Amino acid sequence: MNTNPTPPILVALALCLALVACDSSTKRLQQAQALYKEGVQLREQRRSEEAAEEFLQGLAMVQRSPKATETVQLEGQLCDNLGAMYLKHGLFEEAFKQHQQALNCFKQVADSSGLMNAYRNSGRAVRAQEQYTQAKQYYDSAFRIATFINDQAMLADLHLEMGRDYYMETGNFPKGIESVNQALEIGLNDNDTDIAHMTLGILYYYTRDNDKAKSYLNEALRSERAGLKMSVYQTLYAIAYSEGDYQQAVQYHQLFTENMMQADAEHANENIQRIKAEYELKAQQSELESLHRTRDLKLYLIISLAVIALLIILLIVRKKISDHKLEMEQFGRQVERDQNRIHELVSDMENLIRTNDELRRQQQSLPPKDLMAIQKIMARNKVMATAQALSEEINNDSLNFELTDNDWKDFISLTDLVFDGFSQRLLQLYPKLGPWDVRICCLSKNGFSNQVISILLDTQTDSYYKRKTRIKQMKMDLGDDNRSFEEIVNAV
């Protein structure tokens, strides 16, 4: 008697499809968890851009999965880590959105630890935008949860961060001192202890208690980190300068320069280690992928009958082809982004070259007598003379200067004469700029270094870098512009 083989095959196919459908959400969750772990490893290796890409891919998979407790928990972790990557690269608004999404996820699953970290990170994001009142609210929420769950390590970190990044920034130096001391009382690791001592030294310097400031700053010098020691020597230089000990100030400045060079060298060494770790990670990934493929194949061969096995293999092949197409599309998009980035960089270089040629033509168009007269007048200006002296050598004579508002007005007028009304064109483009902002732009236009400009403004180099960033983002509304502050000024 003849039998029809079609119904059993259809039944087997239906069973396979049902199994795959039930298993797809589980596989997506497992893949998202693997992407999250890999992103965390990349973040620890300071490969932030690659880590952000892993978090984004994991987030895309999680958002397509059913909203189970485990899925919502993982979504919160991915969003919180992705927000930290955005914050590191200055994308403050995007970082805040991710941390807010993480808060919503952690609230749904009642994860106290996750909420505590998300509140803290939300405070960091709004503080970076100088929204200090809102930042304080988020920090206070993190404090309440840390106190409730008795997380002593987090409490110490929060006290240190509040003293360094909130109270110091808002000018509440006594409260900052109190907060950092509370962190030390709870207990910090060696690295954070050095940071706490450095922060206390700076806070006491701001309160004019130089003796205590020097005591804590000297404690911080036990650190092996060149970047931290660089900041300490910068503050000690400011203290010595304010006390009139110019010889000691020059010595601190030399130590500052030495540690700055060492910090640059350490950064280069970190890049070498990063490249080495990248090759090792790729080798591990290839080995794990090969192992997973072998295990899956054995599992299907053991469980399935002959016909079912053939159908499953067909489905696997199709899925592999789909995944390969998706990977190729993602790779194509990445290549396109890289090409666009290269084109942007080339365009920026061409604009900078054209700007320099324009300035050179403007100077060459002046009659020789007028150009010599302008150069003599510029040399007699006190701001220009002081800046040039600092550029050549930093010593007791060059550091002993005092500039009046009239000196600055004369300097801006001469800059306008040389650069064809630079300050007027600058204010037409960016009307939010204040008088001190215009002075900074004129100094940058004349080609003086960041170090010289920070000394002329009587501020620390780190504070000057932050100020340039605020001018670019808040005053010029150019937060999305990839050009440096100097390139923007030179393009005016």
Q: Which residue has the tokens 């929060």?
A: 158
Shared-domain flag, residues 320 and 439:
no
Whether this prediction's pTM lies above 0.75 is answered by no
Is 471 among the domain residues? Answer: yes
Is 10 among the domain residues? Answer: no
pLDDT of residue 276: 44
pLDDT of residue 293: 63
What are the respective helix, strand and coil percentages of the chain, to the nearest 5? 85, 0, 15
Which helix (H) or strand (E) is 23 found in, with range?
helix 6-44
pLDDT exceeding 90 applies to what percent of the chain?
17
Is 178 among the domain residues? Answer: no
Shared-domain flag, residues 327 and 403:
no
Residue 14 clears pLDDT 60, i.e. is over it: no
CATH assignment of the domain containing 34: 1.25.40.10
pLDDT of residue 345: 43
SS (H, E, C) the chain: CCCCCHHHHHHHHHHHHHHHHHHHHHHHHHHHHHHHHHHHHHHHCCCHHHHHHHHHHHHHHHHCCCCCHHHHHHHHHHHHHHHHHHHHCCCHHHHHHHHHHHHHHHHHHCCHHHHHHHHHHHHHHHHHCCCHHHHHHHHHHHHHHHHHCCCHHHHHHHHHHHHHHHHHHHCCHHHHHHHHHHHHHHCCCHHHHHHHHHHHHHHHHHCCCHHHHHHHHHHHCCCCCHHHHHHHHHHHHHHHHHCCCHHHHHHHHHHHHHHHHHHHHHHHHHHHHHHHHHHHHHHHHHHHHHHHHHHHHHHHHHHCCHHHHHHHHHHHHHHHHHHHHHHHHHHHHHHHHHHHHHHHHHHHHHHHHHHHHHHHHHHHHCCHHHHHHHHHHHHHCHHHHHHHHHHHCCCHHHHCCCCCHHHHHHHHHHHHHHCCCHHHHHHHHCCCCCHHHHHHHHHHHCCCCHHHHHHHCCCCHHHHHHHHHHHHHHHCCCCCCCCCHHHHHHCC
pLDDT of residue 256: 86
Shared-domain flag, residues 372 and 434:
yes
Range with lowest mean pLDDT among 9-18, 38-47, 169-178, 347-356: 347-356
Shared-domain flag, residues 359 and 373:
no
Instruction: Give me the chain's average pLDDT, please.
Output: 80
Give the tens place of pLDDT for each residue, 243-296: 888 888 888 888 888 888 877 766 554 444 444 444 444 444 455 455 556 655
The two structure tokens encoding residue 146:
């840390």
Shared-domain flag, residues 30 and 126:
yes
pLDDT of residue 168: 87
The neighbour count for residue 456, using CB atoms within 10 Å, is: 20
Residue 349 clears pLDDT 70, i.e. is over it: no
Shared-domain flag, residues 332 and 375:
no
pLDDT of residue 420: 87
Query: Under a CB-based contact definition with an 8 Å cutoff, are residues 247 and 237 in contact?
Result: no
The neighbour count for residue 305, using CB atoms within 10 Å, is: 10
Give the tens place of pLDDT for each residue, 207-221: 898 888 888 888 888
Mean pLDDT score, 322-351: 66
Shared-domain flag, residues 40 and 140:
yes
Is 379 among the domain residues? Answer: yes
Residue where one domain finishes, among candidates 365, 390, 405? 365
Q: pLDDT tier at 355 (50, 70, 90 boundaries)?
A: very low
pLDDT of residue 22: 46
Is 334 among the domain residues? Answer: yes
Range with lowest mean pLDDT among 84-88, 196-200, 440-444: 84-88
pLDDT of residue 190: 82
**How many residues in total does the chain contain?**
492
Mean pLDDT score, 37-53: 86
Residue where one domain finishes, among candidates 327, 343, 365? 365
Residue 344 clears pLDDT 50, i.e. is over it: no
Shared-domain flag, residues 324 and 408:
no
Range with lowest mean pLDDT among 25-34, 89-98, 483-492: 25-34
Shared-domain flag, residues 322 and 410:
no
Shared-domain flag, residues 385 and 458:
yes
Count: domains in the chain? 3
Is 428 among the domain residues? Answer: yes
Is 75 among the domain residues? Answer: yes
pLDDT of residue 273: 46
Q: pLDDT tier at 105 (50, 70, 90 boundaries)?
A: very high
Shared-domain flag, residues 141 and 28:
yes
Domain housing 89: 18-150
pLDDT of residue 230: 84
Q: What is the rounded CA–CA span in Å between residue 383 and residue 381? A: 6
pLDDT of residue 350: 54
Is 183 among the domain residues? Answer: no
pLDDT of residue 117: 93
Query: Under a CB-based contact definition with an 8 Å cutoff, are residues 394 and 450 in contact?
Result: no
Shared-domain flag, residues 136 and 40:
yes
Q: pLDDT tier at 202 (50, 70, 90 boundaries)?
A: very high
